[in-house]
Amino acid sequence: MHTFTLRTLSKAVSLVILGGLLGACQDEASTPEPQKEASPMYAKGLTLTVPSDTDLVDTEIVSPSLAPINTNTDYVSFISPLYGEYQASQPVLEQASQSDEYWLNVTGAELNAGVTLTMSQAASLVRIAPRSDLSSGALMHAEAIAPERVQIQRIGQAPQGKAASSSPQASESLVKSMVSAEALASAGLVDDSSALQMSEKATAGEYRLQVNQPLTPSANYLVNVKEKGSPYQLSLKAPTAVAADAQSVGIKLALSQSDNQFAPQAKLKQADGEIQTIAMVKRGDTWQAQIPQGMQLANSNAGFSEIEVTVQTQVDGRPVQRTVKSVFKSYVNSASIKPEVLTVWDKGLPNQVNFELNIAETGRFGLSGVLTGTNAEGQRVAIMRTQAANWLTPESSKLKLMFDPKLIQASGLQPPFELNELELQDQGQMARLSFQANALVLTR
């Protein structure tokens, strides 16, 4: 006859808890069955560590308004073995980009009448690309421009270009070469654009670009001036993700070789190509792109939104114009992780962590984390990355991260075991919702 001890009582209670817990879990096939009294498996409640200042954790949740892009309803769990001393990684929250070019939108009528371009150095490239127009309700695509029908002249001087003069010397003095849309497409520029490579004689200054080919007056074109190697680089730093209800987006701008003040102009471009003008306001050393009330930062969960910033100024007497863009994900914080978790242990090793999420709407959510153990020198060593995702509802919002006991045993590592880089994703929005570098110390 077995003696009924406090320890067996504790085990029995654990198994009851475990049974209830596992019953609520989604992956029946891979869940270890709670065994009889002699089972070494038990459950233990733990609490996530308090997020640090560098963690991304927001407990306020909001319902998404855009259609989800991943509606798979399967529970999927995956474990990848990791080796070596653990190197903690942090998500990149800021992007940097720089530009030595600018672009502007013009109509066919404007190109036929002539548009003014600024160039800050010799041998710039001028590209003219037809663009689309939906203003009539139907998609209209402008026709490509034959480069030999383009003329370019320095403002205040006689026209230059093949179409402008019968003198070969004159026509070749400002334009070094010209490229048709067909030729550019063969080299990877597939937007029907044609280009003029300016010569060394086309030095910094203002130029007039005119197209002699009759164009549809309302047709849209893009004129792109590229100044490779220019010392005048417009640099931008901006966030990689922006909350959908943000009223402004902070952008740091700097033009190299210049301390001049400038007044940037900005446009919001959504993933489908729709563009709207937005205002820029300076606060301290940061520009704020103002998002008008009612304007959506994104109209789809697919792709990214962009803010294009154009700057015009003078540097050392040269006209400098630059366009640079930021790329960001617009998202809503549709879920958060509840700090109380239930860990399951098997033969003294962590087997799984069961999370419960606060979610605003039904959707597909994913969790991932890195399990580490401790070596003889007391260093944290990575054992595995564990990931899981499932279709969750506000009423059924549990998600478990599994561990592979064979990998833990093979590692030879000892406690404390820790769960790091705990990341919550909304796969419907394709957005990272939270990240905690050191999320949980797994104590038996």
Partner 1 sequence: MKINKALMLLGLLAVSPATLAATGIAFIHGTGHQTNALADYWTPEFVNSVRQGIPVPNNYTVINCDFDQYMWEETAAGCLATQLNSFIQAKNIDDLILLTHSNGGNVVRWILSNPTWDSRYPAVINATSKVIALAPSSAGTPLADAVNQGNVFETSLGWLLGYGSNAVKQQQVGWMANYNNTWLYGTSGRPSLGKPFEVVVGSDVDSAIWDSDSYCAGYQYQVALETTQNWLDSCSDGFLNCSSQKAAGTVWFTDKQKTGGQEPLSHQQSRRACFNLDTLIRNHI
Q: Which of residues 37-66 bind partner 1 (CB under 8 A)?
A: none
Q: Which CB, 224 or 265, lies closer to partner 1?
A: 224
Q: How far is the CB of 410 from partner 1 (least distance, A)?
A: 16
When asked if residue 201 is in the footprint of partner 1 (CB under 8 A), the reply is no
Binding part of the chain for partner 1, among 5-13, 19-27, 60-68, 425-433 by CB under 8 A, reads 425-433
Six token digits for residue 402: 């599994």
Q: Label residues 387-399 b or e (16+ Cβ within 10 Å = b).
A: bbbbbbeeeebbb
Query: Binding string to partner 1 for residues 84 to 123, with x set by CB under 8 A, is what?
Result: -----x-xx--x-x-----x-x------------------
| The only residue of 193, 230, 321, 330 in contact with partner 1, by rule CB under 8 A | 193
Kindly state the smallest distance separating residue 318's Cβ from partner 1, in Å: 19
Phi, psi of 262 (to 5 degrees): -145, 160
- Which residue, 44 or 269, has its beta carbon nearer to partner 1? 269
Q: What is the smallest separation between the CB atom of 132 and partner 1, expressed in angstroms?
A: 4
Q: Which stretch binds partner 1 (CB under 8 A): 60-68, 193-201, 209-217, 255-263?
A: 193-201
CB of 421 to partner 1, least distance (A): 8
State the binding string over 118-147 for partner 1 (x if CB under 8 A, else -). -------x-x-x-xxxx----x-x--x---
CA atoms within 13 A on the CB side of 92: 8
Nearer to partner 1, 14 or 26 (CB): 26
Shortest Å, Cβ 425 to partner 1: 9
Both structure tokens of 50: 């308090």
Please identify, using beta-carbon distances, which residue of 14 and 220 lies nearer to partner 1: 220
Minimum gap (Å) between residue 292 Cβ and partner 1: 19
Q: Give the separation between CA 57 and CA 60, rounded to whole angstroms.
A: 9
Shortest Å distance, C-beta 78 to partner 1? 4
Please identify which residue in 49, 112, 197, 199 interacts with partner 1, judged by CB under 8 A: 197
Using the rule CB under 8 A, is 76 a contact of partner 1?
Answer: yes
Contact, 328 vs 379, CB < 8 A?
A: no
Q: Which residues contact 273 (CB under 8 A, 6 or more apart)?
A: 132
Residue 29 binding partner 1, by CB under 8 A: no
In the complex with partner 1, the residue whose CB is nearer, 245 or 274, is: 274
Q: Give me the DSSP letters along 243-305.
A: ETT-SEEEEEEEETT-------EEEEE-TTS-EEEEEEEEETTEEEEE--TT--S-S-SSS-E
Quick check: 77 binds partner 1 (CB under 8 A)? yes
Sorted by sequence, the CB contacts under 8 Å of residue 62 that are 6+ apart come out as 244, 245, 332, 333, 334, 360
Nearer to partner 1, 180 or 286 (CB): 180
User: What Cα–Cα distance (Å) separates residue 406 from each residue in 216, 379, 409, 421?
Assistant: 70, 21, 5, 22
Chain positions 211 to 240 lying near partner 1, rule: CB under 8 A, are 220, 222, 224, 226, 228, 240
Shortest reach from residue 390's CB to partner 1, in Å: 8
Of residues 301-330, which lie at the interface with partner 1 (CB under 8 A)? 302-304, 306, 325-329
Residues facing 131 on adjacent strands: 220
∠ Cα 64 239 293 (to 5°): 50
3-state helix, strand, coil in the chain (%, to 5): 10, 50, 40
Three-state DSSP at 321 gives strand
User: Measured at the alpha carbon of residue 85, what is the angle toward residues 79 and 88, in degrees to the nearest 5?
Assistant: 75
Applying CB under 8 A, among 119, 344, 388, 440 the residue interacting with partner 1 is 388
Q: Which of 41, 175, 179, 298 binds partner 1 (CB under 8 A)?
A: 179
Instruction: Pick one of 17, 62, 146, 185: the residue that binds partner 1 (CB under 8 A).
Output: 185
Q: Is 188 in the site for partner 1 (CB under 8 A)?
A: yes
CB of 14 or CB of 436, closer to partner 1: 436
Residue with Cβ nearer partner 1 (385 or 398): 385
> Is 171 near partner 1 (CB under 8 A)?
no
- Which residues lie below 8 Å from residue 418, measured CB to CB, with a gap of 6+? 371, 372, 380, 438, 439, 440, 441, 442
Helical residues (DSSP H) of 133-212, grouped into ranges? 168-174, 181-186
359 makes contact with partner 1 (CB under 8 A): no
Question: What is the smallest separation between the CB atom of 131 and partner 1, expressed in angstroms?
Answer: 5
Strand pairing partners for 79? 386
CA-to-CA distance for 353 and 45, rounded, in angstroms?
Answer: 9
Quick check: 256 and 267 in contact, CB under 8 A? no
Residues 266-295 that bind partner 1 (CB under 8 A): 271-275
